[in-house]
Structures are given as structure tokens and as C-alpha cells.
A = this chain, B = another copy of it.
Amino acid sequence: MRQSFLFTKTRREGPSDEVSRNAQLLIRAGYIHKEMAGVYDYLPLGLRVIEKIRQIIRQEMDKIGGQEVSLSALQDQELWKATDRWSDEKVDVWFRTQLKSGSELGLGCTHEEPMVRMLRDHVQSYKDLPKYTYQFQTKFRNELRSKSGIIRGREFLMKDMYSFNRSQADLDEFYDSVIEAYKNVFARAGIGERTYLTFASGGMFSKYSHEFQTVCDAGEDHIYIDKDKAIAVNDEVMQDDILSSLGITRSNLVKEKSIEVGNIFKYGTRYTSELGLKFKDESGEDKPVIFGAYGIGLGRLMGTIVELLSDEKGIVWPESVAPYKMHLLALDEDGKKVAEIFYLGKEEEILYDDRDVSAGEKFADADLIGIPTRLVASKKSLASGGFESRDRRTGSVKIIPNS
């Protein structure tokens, strides 16, 4: 894209009412716009990052058998009363609204209930299982406070996957494949080395639950990491007997602040028994479907990447989620001539700074926007043999041919 065409502008100063580093940088660089605390718009560059994250997640969910759907935000209270999750005492983040008739509706903060109910129309027999559904859908959560930028929004895009199995053993097997898929997602998004499968306390249907936690100073959580084994535990399971059952010892653990970037739950027959999602097994007997749910917040992942991979000059995107691969800066007329030719046909890969502004402004904007490779086209670079290519992360510079 030509930068002269892009409607967003960078700014030197972040908004004074924004305390989080991720939102400060993303607003300054023109990726997002703040509507109110915890509510952000995505501008062209920001939407490109979200779409790249979405595509990585989609590929990994498809690979393990996911089928994409899109459920509504508006929620029927009767459905949530059936699972005892309608009252504020049970779920404290509901946004509620009303139809003209006066009936109260909720805005979906998660989608176990409607997903389970919807599956009743399509699952009757053991032959209909397993099935795995997922969606990219806007969640609404009425958080009391919202100061973490796009890491904890009141409205945010989430990938939520749901699994429907015949047996606990089948669920266990699928759950393990989700763990691998999530590891792939975080590795491909550039935060794999800092992200730990973290053991948390289990529910009725499993000994432990798991979270994916990314080590980050901006985190609201903290975890205890065994770096040799590359796993972590949270506070709930910091007990010697549990630690020893996991084969780790307290003295090897390092405490770090962290952000929960993914969560996975084995629900067993929770929700499916309450909502009547059952199947006839091989002997014709009715059984409740065995259920699981798996979430990743896209804005949260994007915000975490910014928190981790940025420096005093701006953002440093990994190539996999960067809005463009290359940022091409034309500094003078000679540079512009060759840049125009190079740009042709590469509109999807290149943000091309063709603006009539100073070289200093172009350099500062390139550092702030944080595209992995900066190519400078100028009389000087051409005299050296082509474009000056600079790696945003390492700062290493080389000359590459301009054709």
C-alpha cells in the first residue's frame, strides 16, 4: 500500500489517558483507535495484523478437524438459566440489553451454551461424533476496570473452539491435539519461546486444567516455570504433592509475571447434560456428549506481541503477523524512480512510503510502525548498488539489488 493513500497518520505522543504500552504504541503508529476504556477500533494496519493472526489460527484449527461457524452476540437468557450462568453472582461480566417487548437479553461473553444447543439439531448418534466447531467472534465482557489496552478489552475478537466427543478418552486425545495446535499458533506468532503450558487446578472432569501463559512484565498473572521441562504451574497447584506428581520440584521454579494467551477446558458432561445434548451409542443407549472448549483472544495475542517485541522507537513485528513484509522508503527523486518499479505488483507485501515528507520523519515512522524489513531507496543507496535493507529487530544493514 502507498503510505500517501493510507488514511492513518502516526503521532509522536500517545494519548494521555492510556496507561498500557501496547495501546500507546498501537495508537501512535495508527493501528488502533480508542473509543472508550477497553473498546478499540482496528484501523487498516491493525486489521491486517488481526487478519494474519486469524489466518494462522484458522489453519491450525482446520488441521485438527475444526469447522468454522459464526454465532450471534445476542443471547437468550433462558438458555443460560438452564446452566445457571445467567445471574451476576455466577457470571459477573454480563452486558445486558432489552428487546422492545421488555425481554432481557445478554451479549455473549463466551459461547458454550448456544454452541451446545445448536449441536442438538445435528448430533443424534455415535456416528455423528466426534465434531469440532470454532468461530472468530466478538465477545462482550463488562470488566470493572480496563487498563491493559487490547490485552483485556470489554469488546474483543476471540477464537473459541468447542469439541464434542463420545468418550473421555476421545476428549483426552483431542485435548492433546489442541495443546499441539496452540503451541504452533504461539510459535508462528513469534512468542513461542516465552509461552508455557501452565498447570492450573482441575475441575470435575480432569485432574488439572491448562492455560497458555506468556512471560511478560505487563502481565496481570504470575506463574512458576520449570525451564528445563518447559512447563509451568500457577498458584493453585503450588503444593508439594502436586508438584511432585508433575515431576517438578519447588526449588527449580522461577516466578515470572505472565499473560494468559490461551485457555483450554475439559468440561466432560457439564453443559451437555444440562442442555440435553446426547447421542445414541452402539447399543442404542442415550449418553451425554463429552465436551471441551478452547479459547484464544486475537487482540490479546496482538497486544502481547507488542508488549514483548517493541523497543524505545516502536513496535518490532515478527514477519508472520506484520501488516507488510517490507517498508519501502523513497528518500529522493532517484530513489522514487526505482522504488516505483520495485513496488509494482508487490502491493500486498510492501508498505511504500511515497510521501513528500523528510527522511527523518520516514525513518521515525518506519521504526514506530515496526515492519520487519526497511528498504531505503535513495541516490546514495543506488550508488552503493541498490536498496539499503535494514532488519528492524537486529538493526543489521545490507545492500540488496533493486531488481
Contacts and interface: CB of A to CB of B under 8 A. Distances in A.
* Copy count, this protein chain: 2
A72 B41 contact: yes
Contact of A35 (B67, B114, B119, B143): B114
A97 B75 CA distance: 13
A235 interface: no
A76 B36 contact: yes
Contacts of A67: 5-7, 44
Contacts of A100: 142-144
A397 interface: no
A139 to B, nearest CB: 11
Contacts of A138: 73, 138
Contact of A7 (B7, B43, B99, B131): B131
Contact of A9 (B8, B50, B69, B121): B121
A155 to B, nearest CB: 5
Query: Which of A36, A75, A154 is the most central at the interface, judged by chain B CB atoms within 10 Å of its CB?
Result: A36
A128 B97 contact: no
A279 interface: no
Band of interface residues on A:
35 or more
A87 interface: no
Residue with the greatest number of chain B CB neighbours at <10 A, chosen from A36, A72, A73: A72
A128 B71 CA distance: 38
Given A35-B76, A42-B69, A99 B9 contact: no
A96 B7 CA distance: 31
A205 interface: no
B119 A7 contact: yes
A73 B74 contact: no
A388 B8 CA distance: 54
Contacts of A72: 35, 39-41, 155
Interface string A68-82: 111111111000000
A140 to B, nearest CB: 7
Contact of A73 (B65, B128, B131, B155): B155
B122 A7 contact: yes
A98 interface: yes
A107 interface: yes
